[in-house]
């Protein structure tokens, strides 16, 4: 018998050679229906894998990333099989077909250029293959036999992949009915498990990502366990397309991007209103939490970046220049400048924690293909802060930072979860320092009772971090806030404070951002609100719509009053029908449209129509002003 340890710590004994699928059934028949793959001593494997020795086994369902991956990897094979059946006369050659984060793809070389109609035909054939419930059978061959097998079938891309493997390698293949593919796996037990699938698009992709190689056709799709989950995902994609901040940014005249400065956004007056309101709110919150604002230069000498470690660990992301024959760098981060401010004068333990905030413009070199609206740019404003403290203040200060984050994110109606990112391969410092820093972050999360996951190896090069991932109104997540604990920069810059004992001590440093990047946060909010910003953020809060030019004077009288109270209002005095003006105000997503005519002018009222509503109501101007001021003061999401 062999002993199998389960995730809950329990141990069961089975006959040697028992397949994992049979073992799952012996544990629970209902569980066996959900399990898609398994981890055997930490390695993800098929359920047909035999248990031959004592091992740890973890069952993987669609809720687990590797479980989803196995299902979607199988879906890519189902798609390839469907293409092979439908287009056998088109000299089809298969390249690679992996699972990806939200689905799968397969790169294909064939005579026929696939169209949307073809995708529908392929999808129908895939559904037939799913109904056939073909088992996926793993086979192994010698390298020589595998080269012969795929060579005889004219699969040159598979031959190239096999040639890259060691000569003594054992090659794995997966067979499902009339389709056999080179593949390391793992897969689900049969095609029948792929119950909900959708092909989404076809695009071009160079073989192995090199423009020197042939352009292949990449067919994208996704797969879910349940049809209702697939429908919900596709609905989310439709919503996301409607909310695309690049499209809304143009329609609402918020920002633009130009070939004269790729990755360098231009903010228009409407976009500047949103930006400035976010900055005003940031300053108000940080003042209450005890931060003092600083500003540091954008260009600093190479020696500083060598001292900080950026020159060795971040140089490929930086821009450089020369001044007076010396090397300088445009700052990619604000932290070295903040440290220089700290060093300008001696500090006592009585001053700590010292919280220095900075809205610093940073520049980072991004590949042109990675640029994406406001989400991935080459210059952006980090809402940075650097906190200098004693070691025994660390956990309490982290709790205060999380309090601040919690307040800010709730203001925007964003829920969040946390991820603890640990030491990356390219890092500075000793194991001891990293262990202490990581333990401090973990303790802060656990003592607060905040749910978190561990993201191994994704910390900054100078310290571990907690990342905060926001969930928006349609269920997408965005990484915004970060808390990075740093025991290395204080050492590299030799900074101190004088302790209660009169001796010099090394402070600990926290790097943290709330918005992350103001530009990116504007993009996230644009999509979260679908362009219909809360009234406190809206570029134009009120649009006055006189029915005819006879009532323009009354409209401008109200507009002057609103302006004097600091409200952002405009009068649409064009010679157009009022219905047209109302529709345009709705298209521009203006929170309040006020229609004024004879009745309103005589009674000193306005007819209020909120964005997104068909009904309107008449109230006095004073009542309307009180309503709007209340919504602005509360930073209310709803009008």
Q: Strands 452-455 and 477-486, how do they pair?
A: unpaired
What's the token pair of residue 37? 């793959």
User: How many whole angstroms separate alpha carbon 420 and alpha carbon 429?
Assistant: 19
Question: What single string gives the DSSP state of each residue in 391-410?
Answer: GGGHHHHHHHHHHHHHHHHH
Which pair of structure tokens corresponds to residue 262? 């790729």
With 0-12 / 13-18 / 19 or more C-beta atoms within 10 angstroms meaning exposed / middle / buried, residue 511 is buried
Say which residue the tokens 């009068």 belong to. Answer: 571
> Which among 216, 191, 187 is positioned nearest to 202, based on CA atoms?
216
Measured CA to CA in angstroms, residue 36 lies from 60, 76, 315, 505 at distances of 6, 15, 43, 55
Burial 272-294 (b: 16+ CB within 10 A, else e): ebbbebbeebbeebbeeeebeeb
d(CA 415, CA 408): 11
Nearest 5 degrees, angle CA 13-CA 16-CA 19?
90
- Classify strands 542-546 and 569-571 as parallel, antiparallel or unpaired: parallel
Give the residue among 637, 558, 632 at the shortest CA–CA distance from 595: 558
**Which residues lie closer than 8 Å to 209 by C-beta, 6 or more apart?**
none
Smallest Cα–Cα separation from 51: which of 38, 61, 33, 62?
38
Residues 6+ positions from 86 with CB-CB distance below 8 Å = 121, 122, 125
Across 383-407, b (16+ Cβ under 10 Å) vs e yields bbbbbbbbeebbbebbebbbebbee
Residue 24: cis peptide before it, omega within 30 degrees of 0: no
3-state secondary structure of 445: helix
Quick check: 222 and 152 in contact, CB under 8 A? Answer: no
Instruction: Report residue 576 as tokens.
Output: 């157009």
Q: Which residues are catalytic?
A: 335, 364, 382, 384, 386, 465, 511
Task: Write the CB contacts of 136 (distance below 8 Å, at least 6 apart in sequence).
Answer: 46, 74, 77, 174, 175, 176, 187, 188, 189, 190, 191
How many residues does the structure list for the chain?
639
The rounded distance, in Å, linking the Cα atoms of 571 and 542 is 9
């Amino acid at each position: 018998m062999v002993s199998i340890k389960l995730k809950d710590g329990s141990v069961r004994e089975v006959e040697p050679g028992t397949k994992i699928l049979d073992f799952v059934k012996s544990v629970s028949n209902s569980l066996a229906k959900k399990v898609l793959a398994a981890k055997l001593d930490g390695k993800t494997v098929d359920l047909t894998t035999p248990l031959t020795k004592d091992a740890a086994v973890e069952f993987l369902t669609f809720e687990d990333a590797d479980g989803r991956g196995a299902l979607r990897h199988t879906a890519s094979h189902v798609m390839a099989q469907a293409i092979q059946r439908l287009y056998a006369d088109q000299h089809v050659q298969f390249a690679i077909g992996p699972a990806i984060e939200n689905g799968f793809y397969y790169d294909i070389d064939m005579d026929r250029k696939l169209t949307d109609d073809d995708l529908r035909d392929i999808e129908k054939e895939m559904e037939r293959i799913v109904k056939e419930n073909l088992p996926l059978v793993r086979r192994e061959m010698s390298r020589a036999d595998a080269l012969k097998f795929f060579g005889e079938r004219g699969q040159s891309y598979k031959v190239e992949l096999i040639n890259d493997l060691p000569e003594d390698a054992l090659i794995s293949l997966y067979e499902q009915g009339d389709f056999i593919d080179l593949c390391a796996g793992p897969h689900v037990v049969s095609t029948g498990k792929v119950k909900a699938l959708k092909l989404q698009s076809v695009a071009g992709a160079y073989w192995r990502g090199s423009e020197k190689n042939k352009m292949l056709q990449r067919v994208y799709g996704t797969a879910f366990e349940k049809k209702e989950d697939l429908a919900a995902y596709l609905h989310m994609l439709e919503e996301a397309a409607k909310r695309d901040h690049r499209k809304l940014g143009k329609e609402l005249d918020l920002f633009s991007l130009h070939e004269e400065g790729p990755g360098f956004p231009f903010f228009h007056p409407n976009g500047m209103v949103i930006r400035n309101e976010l900055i005003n709110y940031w300053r108000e919150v940080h003042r209450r939490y005890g931060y003092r604002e600083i500003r540091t230069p954008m260009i600093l000498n190479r020696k500083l970046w060598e001292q900080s470690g950026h020159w060795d660990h971040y140089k490929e992301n930086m821009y450089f220049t020369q001044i007076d024959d010396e090397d300088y760098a445009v700052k990619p981060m604000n932290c070295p400048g903040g440290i220089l401010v700290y060093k300008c004068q001696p500090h006592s333990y009585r001053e700590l924690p010292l919280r220095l905030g900075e809205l610093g413009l940073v520049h980072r070199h991004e590949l042109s293909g990675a640029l994406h609206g406001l989400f991935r740019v080459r210059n952006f404003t980090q809402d940075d802060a650097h906190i200098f403290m004693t070691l025994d203040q660390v956990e309490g200060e982290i709790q205060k930072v999380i309090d601040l984050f919690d307040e800010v994110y709730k203001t925007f109606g964003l829920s969040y979860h946390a991820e603890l990112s640990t030491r990356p391969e390219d890092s500075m410092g000793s194991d001891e320092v990293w262990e202490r820093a990581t333990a401090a972050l973990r303790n802060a999360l656990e003592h607060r009772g905040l749910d978190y996951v561990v993201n191994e190896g994704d910390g900054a090069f100078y310290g571990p971090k907690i990342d905060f991932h926001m969930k928006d109104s349609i269920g997408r997540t965005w990484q915004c806030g970060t808390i990075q604990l740093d025991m290395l920069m204080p050492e590299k810059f030799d900074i101190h404070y004088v302790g209660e004992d009169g001796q010099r001590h090394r402070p600990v440093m926290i790097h943290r951002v709330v918005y992350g990047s103001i530009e990116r946060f504007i993009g996230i909010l644009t999509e979260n609100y679908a362009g219909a910003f809360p009234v406190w953020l809206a570029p134009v809060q009120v649009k006055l719509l006189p029915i005819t030019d006879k009532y323009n004077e009354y409209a401008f009288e109200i507009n002057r009053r609103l302006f004097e109270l600091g409200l952002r209002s405009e009068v649409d005095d064009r010679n157009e029908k009022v219905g047209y003006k109302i529709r345009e105000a709705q298209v521009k997503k203006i929170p309040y449209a006020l229609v004024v005519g004879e009745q309103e002018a005589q009674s000193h009222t306005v007819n209020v129509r909120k964005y997104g509503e068909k009904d309107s109501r008449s109230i006095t101007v004073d009542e309307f002003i009180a309503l709007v001021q209340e919504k602005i003061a509360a930073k209310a999401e709803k009008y």
